[in-house]
Structure 1
């Protein structure tokens, strides 16, 4: 029996490596591609994993993994990928607003996964008074790291898996059958080691999973969607930059700027500077992006950070950039034999660092829905279609939260009109009031309750309205005469909150 089993395993491996045939072909060995390949291989599936460039990637995003992503990584059996890469624990967020600041730690979570709010625990928002659970509760941690080191660990795990074969090849198109529109695999170009030239190649699978990232070449033909880009992040790497509190993701909101800082190694801190599209202070006449950073962003940063930023800018080069994209998810039940996932399928502004958390949770969910118990044969397109329909709706309990938070908070933190600035002040005041356990649990992928997000967002709006009324009407005994103006402004602030939140919330829930 053992010899027969080994012989069968060898035959399956030979089908992958010699004939390029498997149950699953995954295009893209990035965060999601590696995760789903590993998850399906753990179920006994035969998997081919394709990547156009197997060298260590050098990206400036995908460097922060929220606690919910760490937990998903453990469920996938990939938690070891966080070891040996100089990963730094992340305990929450630290918001600096025009010189004032507040630390927002991740909430305490009981061993059963219940979020502690004040003196009570909540299981996704429901009260529970388990005193023993509170005694054993602890704060979860995220991790931040060099993106490329983490990706190489994921690829090492996949390469070591007996059910996965990896190939360095560039996917160029899908392959369809002669008598149907079902996708049978992908055409690629593989480098011939003898000639150094790329030659045509093909890989075949019962199911092809496209995970070729934010610049996907397959998205247009398979999803007919394009991401919306409103700004770019320009990146600096700061060396030995002091910025207490340690082990927090720092969000610095200036009068006209937004900057993120988080440690990615023992000595390295990443600075991501948001530059809106066609910003007047970033035009060539004003010194371009470097001029914007030096004149607008730098003065708004804490004094202890400024020397490290100046040193990073001293090379005279324009910092590397990445587009900040929003791409709402698409229900995928149309194309047989293929699905598009990861950043090729769904993106959000990287402000809150939720992208990898979404990816790993998606991999956990999809693998459970495609488990051989429910879908024995991945060539059963109807069964896969049902699994993808369930995937589209079930993922929303987490992804809608992270996606909406990213877009809504970006609008507030990069405020460009007086209503948004009022909401910005209200949001910061809400943090100062200590109303942070549930919001940061939502942001960290710990709590999966979209309606709790809606409740907090509009509570922030009413805090902003009250602060504006006090500001307009305060200061003198005649201030009450300005109440009509304050009420008109209250309506405008509430309307702006609705415009910011509801369209994105509706899009994500559809």
Structure 2
């Protein structure tokens, strides 16, 4: 009876981006009785050029440190990020939101970070980096994935690479997501970021990312990515205007902070505008009956959130950090039942951080990017909530920076913002129609209307937040249902504290 030759690799990783490189390096350092043979395939090893994946939250920096990869942030002219500021164009006001405890994020040119990560992977013991374009997944008679077929650079014929476990880490445009996950692997694109680099731009607060809330458009982000370069990302909803430059110059640039406008106008007029879809793809279990054995997805190929909060790399790196010991403890990667146990444990372990970042990204985008009157009330309440300072800033920014991975804490602050927005609507002075310079609180005869509006506002908050919480914590997280009860319980606590 003939025997199959042993696989070339124990683990074969498709895609040498943030997740793929970090996982290759991480698995190579895991202590095992037999070191792993790891193949890392990437279609092009030249420096990539992207307009996202340029800001890493403090939670991502800590994950790099945990993985022994903190050195990849050095030598790439990375800019420190000490927090955010939110600029409200309608009021011309800025609120500062610093990271707590002296934590810092980093921002950089994406390609420079990737080249450092690839260099770290190449130096790792047992890792072989191959420039090849993967075209097919190879399955055995039982439909288990046992390798890939790829076109290797410089070779005419395709080559087959076999492995005990195949990891797909080929990013947001994954060619294999639907093959592995089926219908569950279809992302939803809500808008696009239009990006360009500004030269020598001035920001409202140094070393702070800037979120601009502008009328008639989604939010605009600005953050320094090197000593002289600043990235601007402009959220544009579909359908995208035919003449983007004219649209931005006429409708968006005049609403940005005065100090940034000259550099924005120069860059928009002379440079090519680049586009990136903002997609939402909740994570789904990869050990269900419909999933393929022998293969798993990681990074944006499996789970995406809106890039407004800059959480993509942070989630990917923390995913690698939590997967490393679980997968490293599997002695026999040929035993899919043992691998499944590790993946099930990983799915539960990653949920607090990943779900917190994912829910926040979409909820915040819906809050900042929509034009509905009820959402405008919530947006105003959110801005004024930040103005309160103290825990009203520390709590939300701890969540944003992935330093406090807690869906319950996120639920608590989201609904405190909703209740505070209603309080602001009833009590704070607002402009008198026809009298732009005079402000006055609502009259008593307006209270019945405001009461009805407050019900609409609270309902809108539930409609925005509830489905996201349900999707992340219940529908695709059966082992974590208890967390939904904790999250919902915080609503009552938040209401009590509000009163």
Q: How would you bin the TM-score normalised by the shorter chain?
A: 0.7 to 0.9
Distance 2:153 2:70 in 1: 33
Q: TM-score, normalised by structure 2?
A: 0.87
Distance 2:271 2:98 in 1: 37
The 3-state SS of whatever aligns with 1:296 is helix
- Root-mean-square deviation over aligned CA pairs: 1.7
Matching of residues 379-398 of structure 1 within 5 Å: 379-398=334-353
Is 1:51 paired with 2:11?
no
Cα offset for 1:41? 1.0
The 3-state SS of whatever aligns with 1:446 is coil
Q: Assess, with a 3 A threshold, how the Cα gap between structure 1 residues 477 and 64 changes in structure 2: closer, same or farther.
A: closer
217-226 or 405-414, larger mean C-alpha shift: 217-226
CA displacement 1:489-508 (0-9 Å, x = unmatched): 00000000001111011111
Cα offset for 1:45? 1.6
Contact 1:191-1:199 within 8 A present in 2 as well:
no
- After superposing on structure 2, the runs of 4+ consecutive aligned residues of structure 1 that deviate more than 4 Å are 471-478
465-474 or 42-51, larger mean C-alpha shift: 465-474
The residue number in structure 1 matching 2:15 is 28
CA displacement 1:343-374 (0-9 Å, x = unmatched): 000000000000000000000001111123xx
Q: Assess, with a 3 A threshold, how the Cα gap between structure 1 residues 406 and 192 changes in structure 2: closer, same or farther.
A: same
1:252 aligned residue (202, 206, 212): 212
Q: TM-score, normalised by structure 1?
A: 0.85
355-364 or 466-475, larger mean C-alpha shift: 466-475
The 3-state SS of whatever aligns with 2:293 is coil
Is 1:93 paired with 2:56?
no
Q: Assess, with a 3 A threshold, how the Cα gap between structure 1 residues 71 and 472 changes in structure 2: closer, same or farther.
A: closer
Distance 2:145 2:66 in 1: 30
The 3-state SS of whatever aligns with 2:385 is helix
Which structure 1 segments of 5+ residues have no match? 1-14, 109-138
Matching of residues 135-284 of structure 1 within 5 Å: 139-178=102-141, 180-192=142-154, 198-224=156-182, 225-257=185-217, 258-278=219-239, 282=241, 284=242
Distance 1:300 1:267 in 2: 23
Which structure 2 segments of 5+ residues have no match? 433-438, 475-499
Contact 2:7-2:164 within 8 A present in 1 as well:
no
Is 1:78 paired with 2:35?
no
The 3-state SS of whatever aligns with 1:273 is strand
The residue number in structure 2 matching 1:342 is 299
Distance 1:104 1:66 in 2: 14
Contact 1:241-1:305 within 8 A present in 2 as well:
yes
Distance 1:401 1:289 in 2: 33
Cα offset for 1:470? 2.8
The 3-state SS of whatever aligns with 1:495 is helix
Distance 1:256 1:477 in 2: 26
Distance 1:106 1:432 in 2: 15
Contact 2:305-2:358 within 8 A present in 1 as well:
yes
Q: Assess, with a 3 A threshold, how the Cα gap between structure 1 residues 316 and 62 changes in structure 2: closer, same or farther.
A: closer
Distance 1:36 1:174 in 2: 20
Is 1:39 paired with 2:26?
yes
Distance 2:343 2:129 in 1: 25
